A and B are shown apart, each in its own frame.
Chain A
Amino acid sequence: MSLFLSKLASKKDIDEVIKGVAEKVVVLRFGRDEDSVCLQVDEILSKTAHDLSNMASIYIVDVDKAPIYTRYFDISYIPSTVFFFNGQHMKVDYGSPDHTKFVGSFKTKQDFMDLIEVIYRGAMRGKMIVQSPIDPQNIPKYDLLYHGI
């Protein structure tokens, strides 16, 4: 759990953040405060938040507080990090099964900062999906199962 990042407790708050933040990357971390991997991610996010303040606004969301977004964003693993720019979802090709969100923890602060910079630059050029700059070895491996099966 981070004391330095702002928390969003309801769907309305999340809506306002996604709509309201202009010309900046919105980082939404979905997870639980007591989860150990979430704590790792929060550490990285809170330490880089100030340096990235010109490019990104970082928020943490509890998966249990906004169930509709948990379903809409298909969050099956925590922590999951979703990126928005000017109200539009930014996809990133991490080489993992899911392009819509980053699942798990970043290995270093630099990885996260690089990712934000790539997303920001891509969005400024009009790209809806960007290539992840993170070393594939540093990206957690997981399998996605279609819940309908």
Chain B
Amino acid sequence: MGAFYCAICRQTTFSGKGHIFGKSHQGRLRVVLLKFLEKVKEARRTLKKPQVEKFDCTQHMQTFWCYCCGLEVERNVTDGNMTVLYGGLLEHMATPEHRKNTHKFWWDNKADPKYRDKVIITEEENERFKAEVANALESFVDKEDEFVKQQADNIRAQERHRQEVLQFVLEVCFRRMYWQYPSRWHLLLLFMILDSQWAAAGQGLTFIGYQNKHASPCIPGAVPPWLQDDPLEGTSGAAAHPQIGPSLQDFLKQKEQEKLRKLPPNRVGANFDHSSHTDANWLPSFGRVWNSGRRWQSRHQFRQEEGQKNRLKRKREHGAESSKKAKKN
């Protein structure tokens, strides 16, 4: 009696091989076989009608644990382009090693012998499967070819459609606009190509030409906004290159103001406007010698005096003239 490791129960027992007849072992064995047979059943379904699919690395890279051999085997067979579902599993089950291991497993674990043949695939079955797979692969390749041809047809149809649109645009609109704006024809062409590409994006639609010519984007005689004269593109050179930033005058003015800011704010005439325009009768603020009152009043007093003087002068002249007249009379 030595230590005995049971792979099904994953434990070591010291009661010898008697363990495999125990209730717990048989229970676990039944569960394991159920799971195993479930997978084998699925594989056997494809035995008569093999499934071939396009290779998808997320779904077709699965592996399978063979309890009989204690090995991990590939479930599907693939060449990188297409996959035969359950091909790896069936191939493994048809090998003589698997057959030998299965017999040993059943004997060792005292499993039900009626399930044993289900996990073994005979030579005949294997041969038939291989023939079926060859047929399936052939039909799959044919189907792929057909799909590629269909795609090519689609692309060709789209290209033809695009050409039609472009042709129409060039013939109807472009010729008129070319005569109107001969210097900008390359811009127009670019626009047309972009427009036609956009139009071709509507797949499966049939182009029958613009019905309403006046509603189309190229109205003869109308200037589209991107062709209107830019005010910056004037004939004068200065306008074509507008100055960025402040001008020299602005800079000098700013410098003057900086200088003035350093002076005391309450100095005499700090708010005096040096650039104001005044008429010929303007007089500066002046405190006169005989002036009483404020300085600004002296100006008004002076004007009054001037007015009186003029009036007196006029009176005197008038008086002289009248006396002369009287003498004459």
A binds B: yes
**A interface list, Cβ under 8 A from B:** 11-12, 15, 18-23, 68, 71-74, 84-91, 97-100, 122-128, 144, 146, 148
- Establish whether residues B267 and A72, one from each chain, have CB atoms under 8 Å apart when the complex forms: no
A84 touches B289 (CB 8 A): no
Nearest 8 pairs of A and B residues by beta carbon: A86-B269, A123-B268, A126-B266, A88-B269, A89-B286, A87-B272, A86-B272, A74-B289
Partner of B278 from the list A15, A88, A100 (CB cut-off 8 Å) is A15
Whether the pair A18, B266 counts as a contact (CB closer than 8 A) is: no
Task: Give the nearest-CB partner of B303 in chain A.
Answer: A72
Taking a contact as CB atoms under 8 Å apart, the answer to whether B264 and A72 are in contact is no
Partner among B268, B278, B290, B295 whose Cβ is within 8 Å of the Cβ of A74: B290
Contact (Cβ within 8 A) B289 A88: no
| 21 pairs of residues in contact across A and B, judged by CB atoms under 8 Å | A15-B282, A15-B284, A19-B274, A19-B284, A20-B274, A73-B286, A84-B284, A85-B268, A85-B269, A86-B269, A87-B272, A89-B295, A90-B268, A91-B287, A99-B289, A100-B287, A123-B268, A124-B267, A124-B268, A128-B268, A128-B287
Q: B236-256 vs A: 1/0 string, CB under 8 Å?
A: 000000000000000000000
Q: Is the CB of B284 within 8 A of A23?
A: no
Residue of A nearest to B302 (CB): A72
B148 at interface by CB-CB < 8 Å: no
Cβ contacts under 8 Å, A90 to chain B: 268
Question: Complex formed: what's the CA distance from A19 to B274 in Å?
Answer: 5
Q: Which B residues contact A (CB, under 8 angstroms)?
A: 260, 263-264, 266-270, 272, 274, 276, 278, 280, 282-290, 295, 302, 306
**What chain A residues lie within 8 Å of B302 (beta carbons)?**
71-72
Sample of 14 further A-B pairs with CB below 8 A, known A71-B302, A89-B285: A12-B280, A72-B283, A72-B288, A87-B269, A87-B284, A88-B269, A89-B284, A89-B295, A100-B289, A123-B267, A124-B263, A124-B268, A126-B264, A126-B266
Q: Given contacts A19-B274, A23-B260, A100-B288, are A88 and B268 in contact (CB under 8 A)?
A: yes
Closest to B265 in A: A126
Q: Is A18 in contact with B280, judged by CB distance below 8 angstroms?
A: no
A42 to B61 Cα, complex, angstroms: 113
Q: How far is the CB of B22 from the nearest CB of chain A, in Å?
A: 117
**Do residues A87 and B289 form an inter-chain contact, with CB atoms below 8 A?**
no
Q: How far is the CA of A71 from the CA of B285 in the complex (A)?
A: 14
Across the interface, name the chain A residue whose C-beta is closest to B271: A86
- Determine if B288 and A88 form an interchain contact, defined as CB atoms under 8 angstroms apart: no
Tell me, rounded to whole Å, the shortest Cβ–Cβ distance linking A75 to chain B.
10
- Are A23 and B263 within 8 A (Cβ)? yes
The distance in angstroms between the C-alpha atoms of A133 and B287, with both chains bound, is: 21
Cα(A103)–Cα(B269), bound, Å: 25
Instruction: Give the distance in Å from the alpha carbon of A99 to the alpha carbon of B274 in the complex.
Output: 25
**Residues in B whose Cβ lies below 8 Å from that of A21:** 274
**Neighbouring B residues of A19 by C-beta, 8 Å:** 274, 276, 278, 284
Closest CB in chain B relative to A80 CB, distance in Å: 11
* A74 to B286 CA separation, bound complex (whole angstroms): 11
Choose from A15, A88, A97, A124 the contact partner of B285 (Cβ within 8 Å).
A88
**Cα(A48)–Cα(B193), bound, Å:** 81
B114 to chain A, nearest CB (A): 121
Q: Contact between B269 and A124 (Cβ–Cβ < 8 Å)?
A: no
Measured in the bound complex, the distance between the Cα atoms of B265 and A126 in whole Å is 9
Closest-CB distance, A146 to chain B (whole angstroms) = 6
CA A15 to CA B279, docked complex, whole Å:
10
Expressed in whole angstroms, the minimum distance between the Cβ of B262 and any Cβ of chain A is 11
Residues of B with C-beta under 8 A to A71: 302, 306
| Interface pair A22/B274, CB less than 8 Å apart | yes
Q: Is the CB of A126 within 8 A of B290?
A: no
Contact partner of B284 among A18, A74, A97, A146, CB < 8 A?
Answer: A18
Report the minimal beta-carbon distance from B309 to chain A, rounded to whole angstroms.
9
**A12 → B minimal CB distance (Å):** 7
